[in-house]
Amino acid sequence: MTVALIVNPASGGGKGLASGLAAAEILNPQISHHSKSYEDTIIAVDRAAEAGCTVIAACGGDGLMHAAIQGCVQHNLSLLPIPAGTGNDFARALNIHTKDPLAHLRASLVEERIDLGHLGDRYFGAILSSGFDSVVNERANKLRWPKGPMRYNVAILQELPKFSPISFTMHLDGVEFQREAMLVAVANAPSYGGGMLVCPDASMSDGLFDVMILNGVSKPEFLKVFPKVYKGLHVNHPAVEIHRAAHVLIDAPAIGYADGERMGSLPIEARVAPAALTILRAG
């Protein structure tokens, strides 16, 4: 295989740079590139394809994986994830060791095709969401302190007192649902936000999304339920619904995020793209 290594040196508070340097020694890539933005990554993948590379080794967090996915699908390249970010939910869904991100590079790698979510001209690997978590993302992206996952928790405490359930209209494989909901998550993978198992049974190989709806609850009840999401136990709460669908249309006066990246205002339409991406991981 001919490898292009794309590194986000700032990811994970500097883990991206350290892991990228170590990965370069193992992979001996034809091309190495330090990416500074989504657009920069797209350009780097285009250039790697033009140079004849067949594998994109992406070293960074979920944002870098999200950007690399776009070019890999377009050019039919394989993606080799090297998790070095804060959340690493895409790699976690693939059972790639996030605490030792280089371990699988030393093993025999096998190819596997996985599903993606398709949003018109954009793909996502893990989860598309809207509602309270998107409001929190908007707030967290503006915070200078703290760094890492705690920034998300601080944003929750800032936004929850003024948040009210949102009127969502959803079409799941053509069936209409109207809900006053705290949030809606359309999941190709089980977790987001650094291990929050919002849809613990979601699979990247079944051709379907798991769609989680958290209907309106009181703020004290939300604070009681929220910690359970890290073990996926929130699904037993009476305010939680989980549906399965291959085609989802969501409309609400809200913002959508996919893989932690801002997608803009709803309405938004997502379809499963079956076996759309080739990934490499330890066999």
Residue 141's pLDDT is 81
Stated pTM of the model: 0.94
Q: Indicate whether 81 and 135 sit together in one domain.
A: no
Tokens of 166: 């949102």
Q: Looking at residue 194, what is its pLDDT?
A: 86
Q: Using one digit for the tens of pLDDT, what is the confidence trace for 121-148?
A: 899 999 999 999 999 989 988 887 887 6
Q: Is residue 82 part of a domain?
A: yes
Specify if 113 maps to a domain.
no
The tally of domains found in the chain comes to 2
Provide, rounded to the nearest whole percent, the portion of the chain with pLDDT above 90: 79
- Residue 118 lies inside a defined structural domain of this protein: no
- Domain range for 54: 3-107
What's the CATH number where 212 sits? 2.60.200.40
Tell me the C-alpha distance between 48 and 54, whole Å: 8
**Sign of the CA dihedral 231, 235, 237, 239?**
positive
Same domain (yes/no): 162, 90: no
Give yes or no: residues 182 and 249 share one domain.
yes
| pLDDT the model gives residue 15 | 87
Which residues are bridge partners to 281 per DSSP? Answer: 110
Show which of 107, 138, 160 is a domain's final residue. Answer: 107
Would you say residue 64 has pLDDT above 80? yes
187 is a domain residue? yes
DSSP class of residue 267? P
Q: What is the pLDDT of residue 106?
A: 85
Cβ distance 38 to 67 under 8 Å? yes
Same domain, 26 and 95: yes
CB atoms within 10 A of CB 243: 17
Residues 144 and 29 reside in one and the same domain: no
Mean pLDDT in residue range 230-257: 97
| CATH number of the structural domain spanning residue 45 | 3.40.50.10330
Q: Which residue has the higher pLDDT, 12 or 63?
A: 63
- 3-state helix, strand and coil shares in percent for the chain, rounded to the nearest 5: 35, 35, 30
